[in-house]
Amino acid sequence: MSAAIEARGLTRRFGDFTAVDAISFRVERGEVFGFLGANGAGKTTAIRMLTGLLSPSAGEAWVAGHDVYGETEAIRRSIGYMSQRFSLYEDLRVRENIRLYGGIYGLPDRTIHRRGERLLSDLGLEHAADELVASIPLGWRQKLAFSVASLHEPEILFLDEPTGGVDPITRRQFWEMIYRAADGGTTVFVTTHYMDEAEYCDRISIMVDGRIGAMGTPRELREAYGVPSIDELFLRLVRPDPAPAPGVAS
Amino acid sequence: MISPAVGAEGLVKRFGEETALDGLSFTVEAGEIFGFIGPDGAGKTTLFRILTTLLLPDEGSARVLGLDVVGDFWNLRARVGYMPGRFSLYPDLSVGENLSFFAAVFGTSPEEQADLIGPIYGQIERFRDRRAGALSGGMKQKLALSCALVHRPEILFLDEPTTGVDAVSRREFWDLLARLREQGLTIVVSTPYMDEASRCDRVALVQDGRILGVDAPGAFGARYGHPLVAVRGPDRRHLPDILRTWEHALSAYPFGETIHLTDRRTELEPARTADEVRGFLASRGVKDVEARPIQPGIEDVFIALMGAGETP
């Protein structure tokens, strides 16, 4: 069976600037893959290419077996996407969001209804089905957004900083949802600025200036670089020659 | 005696039926970095807008630099620096124009304040002719901080300056704040990142418009009250569920590569908890396990104060 995601020499230039510089990697089906990097390292550009929103300048990539050049429609049907910034329509009710996304994903009404009811009961949100999304707590909103992004049972979930600003308990419950999806065979491609979350991934890559600076399981990387944590590795890769740290408040 | 930089008493703010601030009282001492740590929706932004005179509280009162945030707002504004969470500079003005504008509003110029803003503005000065809207996130943040400082405020309010910023840039931003503090500035800052607590002199943990606790970041651990053990083993995905079935488990949460297990019992040596957990896991056939007693960090404390061991 083909990989969930495969990129070979994937490149994107904007004028003179090379945002993504010939990256190659494979994500296996059912894997939780952490896609890390500093701001401006090219993560967002890479994700836009992999989700069929932006055409590459060079290289090749397949997502769920579909070519990112010609088969963007098929890619969009095979993936779910959520981010901290955009997920649900806040001015619609919970149930309306489920119906709307079910419709966008092309699901039949009966399926939307059945999966929607199951989703609400899994989240314990039946009581809030007719509330506006804006009125439910952020933690619930993020869990709901995750479930809605999975409504069409996509092969691959792209999660762009899904836990930003979320409280520490909900953040961990969110990762348990990710694990459940992965246990069910869904591939999860996730970005985060929380370095402890890097440890929750099966494998991670760290992008530096458009290239993949390191890739492997968290444990392999810690051992290969002789660092106690992914946080330290991140610092070392992103600032290879750090200036001496100025005074730190106690 | 020096009066506190900020003193708040019973602050309440409602928006319709929603209570954003539910009776906040606290004191910030002059010259300290004071952090409000909590998730989105905790009320941090509402609090900062009240303290910077931009929003009126429904109940309670607050004084900043000894001045009342409602009655003395006009005198207060020139002495306070505020960096809102959302980018609030003029996107169509250049970097240099934005800075000059904010300086001019307060009757000064960037040149006069070079000693204060230089270390920060110097890092983006080569982009002085670029439109502010076209800057990267990290550069916007440095420009916003320069603009908040250019009138030489006595106290700085920074609302989530590091949200969405990568781990390395966050670290560097806190290095900048530490330098400003050494120059005598009082800094009140909010963040959803628990690991940033260690960069503050004192922190308030906030959730749902309430303060869960205020202390020096290193002092919270002493309040934990339960033995805490970091467990490391194979099959990390399922280890928390297994640990939760242990009769003495109060909670088990993943923390990076380990699981933090809290013992329900209070009067107990953590080393004994570690021994017993190893025994328990062995009885369940889980091998290659490491369990060692640890000091609770801010995030452990926050979780305990939030939900007292609720598990999904």
* B229 DSSP β-pair partners: B261, B293
Is B32 a residue whose pLDDT tops 90? yes
Burial B265-297 (b: 16+ CB within 10 A, else e): eeeeebeebbebbbebbeeeebeebebeebebb
Please, are residues A187 and A150 in contact by the beta-carbon 8 Å criterion? Answer: no
Q: What is the mean pLDDT of residues A125-152?
A: 92
Mean pLDDT over the full length of chain B:
93
B39 vs A contacts (CB less than 8 Å) = 138-139, 165-168, 170
pLDDT at B234: 86
Tell me, yes or no, if B194 comes closer than 8 A to chain A by beta carbon.
yes
Instruction: Please judge whether A39 and B166 are an interchain contact, meaning their C-beta atoms are less than 8 angstroms apart.
Output: yes
Instruction: Please judge whether B165 and A166 are an interchain contact, meaning their C-beta atoms are less than 8 angstroms apart.
Output: no
| Domain residue extents for chain B | 6-220, 225-295
Is A182 a residue whose pLDDT tops 50? yes
- pTM confidence score: 0.89
- Output DSSP code: residue B311: -
pLDDT at B309: 39
Is B310 a residue whose pLDDT tops 60? no
Instruction: Please judge whether A249 and B177 are an interchain contact, meaning their C-beta atoms are less than 8 angstroms apart.
Output: yes
Q: What is the mean pLDDT of residues B190-198?
A: 94
Q: What is the mean pLDDT of residues B116-127?
A: 92
Tell me, yes or no, if A218 comes closer than 8 A to chain B by beta carbon.
yes
Q: Which CATH number fits domain A5-87+154-238: 3.40.50.11540, 3.90.76.10, 3.20.20.105, 3.40.50.300?
A: 3.40.50.300
Is A247 a residue whose pLDDT tops 50? no
B168 vs A contacts (CB less than 8 Å) = 38, 234-235, 238-239
- pLDDT band at residue B257 using 50, 70 and 90 as cut-offs: confident
Least confidently predicted of B54-68, B149-163, B296-310:
B296-310
Please, are residues B205 and B55 in contact by the beta-carbon 8 Å criterion? Answer: no
Strands A79-83, B67-68: parallel, antiparallel or unpaired by DSSP? unpaired
Q: A42: distance to nearest CA of chain B, Å?
A: 12
Tell me, yes or no, if A246 comes closer than 8 A to chain B by beta carbon.
yes
Please, are residues A3 and A26 in contact by the beta-carbon 8 Å criterion? Answer: yes
pLDDT at A1: 63
Instruction: Please judge whether A249 and B201 are an interchain contact, meaning their C-beta atoms are less than 8 angstroms apart.
Output: yes
pLDDT at B17: 87
- Output DSSP code: residue B132: G
Is B88 a residue whose pLDDT tops 90? no
- pLDDT band at residue B87 using 50, 70 and 90 as cut-offs: confident
Is B178 a residue whose pLDDT tops 70? yes
CATH architecture of the domain covering B225-295: 2-Layer Sandwich (3.30)
Q: What is the mean pLDDT of residues A185-191?
A: 97
Give the count of Cβ contacts less than 8 A between chain A and B: 108
pLDDT at B164: 81
Q: What is the mean pLDDT of residues A105-123?
A: 95
Q: B215: distance to nearest CA of chain A, Å?
A: 13
pLDDT at A39: 85
Does an H or E element contain A232, and which? Answer: helix A230-238
Least confidently predicted of A101-115, A129-143, B30-44:
A129-143
**Helices and strands of chain B, counted as H and E runs:** 9, 14
pLDDT at A248: 39
- pLDDT band at residue A242 using 50, 70 and 90 as cut-offs: low
Which residue of A167, A174, A223 to mutate against B (max B Cβ within 10 Å)? A167
Widest pairwise Cα distance in chain A = 62
- The residue of chain B with its CA nearest to that of A249 is B178
Instruction: Please judge whether B257 and A175 are an interchain contact, meaning their C-beta atoms are less than 8 angstroms apart.
Output: no
Q: What is the mean pLDDT of residues B30-43?
A: 95
Which ranges of B55-127 does DSSP label H, i.e. alpha helix?
73-77, 95-105, 114-121
Is B256 a residue whose pLDDT tops 70? yes
Q: What is the pLDDT of residues B210-251, one digit of tens each?
A: 999 999 999 999 889 899 999 999 888 889 999 999 999 999
CATH architecture of the domain covering B6-220: 3-Layer(aba) Sandwich (3.40)
Of A172, A239, A249, Cβ closest to residue B199:
A249
pLDDT at A246: 46
Please, are residues A55 and A235 in contact by the beta-carbon 8 Å criterion? Answer: no
Q: What is the mean pLDDT of residues A190-195?
A: 93
CA-to-CA distance for B176 and B199, rounded, in angstroms? 11
- pLDDT band at residue A249 using 50, 70 and 90 as cut-offs: very low
Mean pLDDT over the full length of chain A:
92
Which residue of A36, A123, A232, A248 to mutate against B (max B Cβ within 10 Å)? A248
- pLDDT band at residue B1 using 50, 70 and 90 as cut-offs: low
pLDDT at A243: 52
Instruction: Please judge whether A39 and B39 are an interchain contact, meaning their C-beta atoms are less than 8 angstroms apart.
Output: no
CA-to-CA distance for B143 and B126, rounded, in angstroms? 12
Q: What is the mean pLDDT of residues A111-133?
A: 94
Strand order in the sheet with B80-83: B80-83, B155-159, B186-191, B33-37, B202-207, B210-215
A247 vs B contacts (CB less than 8 Å) = 178-179, 182
